[in-house]
């Protein structure tokens, strides 16, 4: 199990806070063992939370030229036809993955191809289950064009706890299926938009794993 590079600032802050908390407990309450243990337990809990959240497990990736692979861990919470107004400006099949704070939060490319569009949108921090989070929350929009001409749009969407979206891509980059394209800190979601008629391999409430679960076929 590896620790993701995006977690180092958070881990250092927690370690600094823990050192201060333990120092206060030992300096101001030298005779109260319960204060010392409280400081130790809080420090240990916060450290474990950060280590768990920013874990980066090694995985055997699922790859296939005609496959769309889950870009994130989580649960399928939306499957519906909807109007996509930012890029396609027509009806698309939307599939949304909700990422809880216990999920691995690495985001990956679902297909290989060329990044034909990228845009970052500042915004609100509505709960990720809210339908408006897809258009109102802080988010990125990424479109990857497959070599057969099919374009897949997906969005990293901040949630009520997620206050920082990280991305490693820009327009005209070469996208490699299952390669890291970003990270979302704390609870959030990823929306994908497929052409109408795309054959899905998942259903509502399915639990998926990034870089492993096949969502659909091109």
Buried b (16+ CB within 10 A) or exposed e, 100-136: beebbbbbbbbbbbebbbbeebeeebbebeeeebbee
CA 117 to CA 103: how far, in whole Å? 27
Residues 154, 193: contact at Cβ < 8 Å? yes
CA 84 to CA 158: how far, in whole Å? 19
**Active-site residue (options: 10, 18, 133, 188):** 188
Task: Give yes or no: 100 in active site.
Answer: no
Q: Which residues are catalytic?
A: 188
């Amino acid at each position: 199990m590896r620790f993701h590079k995006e977690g180092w600032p958070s881990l250092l802050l927690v370690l600094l806070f823990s050192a201060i908390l333990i120092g206060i407990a030992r300096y101001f309450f030298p005779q109260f063992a319960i204060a010392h243990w409280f400081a130790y337990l809080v420090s240990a809990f916060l450290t474990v939370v950060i280590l768990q959240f920013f874990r980066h497990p090694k995985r055997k990736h699922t790859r296939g030229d005609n496959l769309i692979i889950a870009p994130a861990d989580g649960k399928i919470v939306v499957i519906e036809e909807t109007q996509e107004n930012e890029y396609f400006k027509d009806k698309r099949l939307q599939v949304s993955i909700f990422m809880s704070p216990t999920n691995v939060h690495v985001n990956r490319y679902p297909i290989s191809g060329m990044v034909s569009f990228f845009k970052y949108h500042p915004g609100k921090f509505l709960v990720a289950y809210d339908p408006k989070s897809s258009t109102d929350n802080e988010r990125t929009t990424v479109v990857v064009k497959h070599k057969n001409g099919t374009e897949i749009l997906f969005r990293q969407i901040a949630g009520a706890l997620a206050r920082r979206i990280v991305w490693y891509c820009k327009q005209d980059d070469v996208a490699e299926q299952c390669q890291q394209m970003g990270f979302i800190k704390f609870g959030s979601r990823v929306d994908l938009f497929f052409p109408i008629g795309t054959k899905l391999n998942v259903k509502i409430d399915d639990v998926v794993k990034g870089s492993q679960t096949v969502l659909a076929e091109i």
